[in-house]
Chains A and B, each alone.
Chain A
Amino acid sequence: MTPIVQCIGLTRTYGRKIALNQIHLNLEPGRIIGLLGPNGSGKTTLIKIMNGLLNPTSGDILIGGVRPGVDTKSRISYLPERTYLYPGMRVEEMVRYFQDFYPDFRMDRAYDMLSRLQIEPRERLKNLSKGTKEKVQLILVMSRDADLYILDEPIAGVDPASRDYILHTIVQNYNRNATILLSTHLIADVENILDEVVMIRYGNIILQAGAEQIRRHEGKSIDRFFREVFAC
């Protein structure tokens, strides 16, 4: 089976600083994968390269066997760590925007999630709180039938009470044959849904293993293990 993501000697530098250092990584389809690492470890750089928002300095990256481009963008559903919605638009206009550009967008699914989270479709985005905007963004991203969902810190900006619902939303709504790559430092909240873990430090992949395998092998939770590995 072709990996959904293949990184071959992937390197990205910013001036003299090396953000990603000769990364070799394969991600298989149908898994929920946690991309874990401290701030500045290279998680977001790797995610941006997958989405074609940055170009690698050297090496190669393939999404479903092809380099990032128009084709891969129609297969990836990406949630960035920042708010990218147009503030002047209403929620329902943003839903139509996604439907216009993504053939795999499911409008019924989006409205169902909006109603469950009691978000008014007529509301303008600029009038919503930061947390609600993030929820709208997540709803839009998870309403697609994509092959790869890349979620960069999906629960960082929302209150703890909503986190469970959001994780539930992610798990319930993704295409079962798809892969979810979830980048976060709130490991305790997400570790129960992870199938696999990729740990990154100083631009190097230091571990790629099954979540259950880590727990069994280390005899502790992934959160505990992470804290020990990345202890300052």
Chain B
Amino acid sequence: MLGKLMKYEWQATWKLLLPANLLIVVMTFFACMAIRLNFGEIKNDGIVFGAVMILVTYVGSMFVVMIGTAIYLIYRFYTSTYGDQGYLLHTLPVDKHHIVIAKVTVSTAWVLFSSFLMYLSILFIFASEKGVIPELVDSMRLFTEEVGGRPSLFAGVMTVTAFVVSVLARVLKVTACLSLGQLSANHKLLMSFAYYFGIYFLQQMLGTFYYIFLAVINRRLDTYYYGQTWEVTLLTGLVYTVVFYMVTWYTMEKQLNLD
């Protein structure tokens, strides 16, 4: 049944999210063209204005796609799980674990896909300017060495893994907050926001304590950068993933409260 749930989740989301992500590709192409223009030599103001507008639209479209994807996925999860369509979803003969896994996997995949396209897009924009990419690589190497790491394939793979897990944890945080919010008799969405900010605040507090702890242990103050290793990101990501998954599953299984 998990496969079927995922199939329908893909079918419901790709119609909107695929064109939105294709917009990033199209805008990147035009932005690369615009950035390659030598503005000092162009006499026609119209061309300069058009190129600037393309760059502004490019930046704007990146924000719209990023925020739009997040809002759409939240809306989709809420309506299909705790809205009217929840009546169908929760009366299907499927395990609640499968429901959570299907929804979270598809949402995480879309967030990762959008993020990947955006990173790639920014890389193409940088590549349009000569000498920027080598400078960027040098800066990253210097930063890695500064925080005590050594650039390696293993560290690279683990950094990407840590990023994937942190995205998964963030998606699950949203599903956990929406699940907790639906427990309220009234203002379910408002309560979901309240849970989100409450948990966010708690996470920030825990992070601050962690950096203070590192500062005391290592007797240095630049622990924010020092503490940002893939090991820490991966470990915290895994802990949050398990906690938020359990909250989402438990409220769906034991505390469902459809109006």
Which residues of A line the B interface, CB within 8 A? 14-15, 48, 51-55, 70-71, 73-74, 76, 78, 80, 82-86, 88, 97, 100-102
- Complex: A80 Cα to B15 Cα, angstroms: 28
Known A-B contacts A15-B185, A48-B258, A86-B12; the reply to A70 vs B93 at CB < 8 A is: yes
Asked if B130 is an interface residue, CB under 8 A from chain A, the answer is no
A84:B255 contact, CB within 8 angstroms: no
- With contacts A14-B185, A53-B87, A84-B87 taken as known, whether A101 is within 8 angstroms of B12 at the C-beta atoms is no
Given contacts A74-B93, A82-B87, A86-B80, 7 further A-B contacts (CB under 8 A): A14-B185, A51-B91, A73-B93, A84-B85, A84-B87, A85-B85, A86-B88
**In the bound complex, CA of A32 to CA of B257 (Å):** 28
Closest to A94 in B: B88
A100 in contact with B4 (CB, 8 Å): yes
Residue numbers in A under 8 Å from B84 (CB-CB): 82-84
B: residues with CB less than 8 A from A are: 1, 4, 8, 12, 15, 80, 84-88, 90-95, 185, 254-258
Q: How many Å lie between the Cα of A211 and that of B42 in the bound state?
A: 89
> For B4, B88, B90, which residue has the most chain A Cβ atoms within 10 angstroms?
B88
Q: Are B92 and A73 touching (Cβ within 8 A)? A: yes
Give the contacting residue for B1; candidates A71, A84, A101; CB below 8 A: A101
**A53: which of B12, B80, B91 is its contact (CB, 8 Å)?**
B91
B60 to chain A, nearest CB (A): 27
CB-CB nearest 10 A-B residue pairs: A74-B93, A84-B87, A84-B88, A73-B93, A80-B87, A53-B258, A101-B92, A100-B4, A78-B91, A70-B93
A98 to B182 alpha-carbon distance, docked (Å): 26
Bound form: Cα–Cα A148–B196 in Å: 40
Closest to B90 in A: A53
Task: Give Cα A215–Cα B92 distance, bound, in whole angstroms.
Answer: 38
B85/A53 in contact, CB under 8 A:
no
Contacts of B257 in A (CB 8 A): 54
Tell me, rounded to whole Å, the shortest Cβ–Cβ distance linking A181 to chain B: 14
- Docked complex Cα distance between A52 and B87 (Å): 10
Closest Cβ–Cβ distance, residue B5 to chain A (whole Å):
9
Cβ contact within 8 Å between A88 and B12? yes
29 of the cross-chain contacts (CB-CB < 8 Å) are: A14-B185, A15-B185, A52-B90, A53-B86, A53-B90, A53-B91, A53-B256, A54-B256, A54-B257, A54-B258, A55-B254, A70-B93, A70-B94, A73-B91, A73-B93, A74-B93, A78-B87, A78-B91, A82-B84, A82-B87, A84-B84, A85-B88, A86-B80, A86-B85, A88-B12, A100-B4, A101-B92, A101-B94, A102-B93
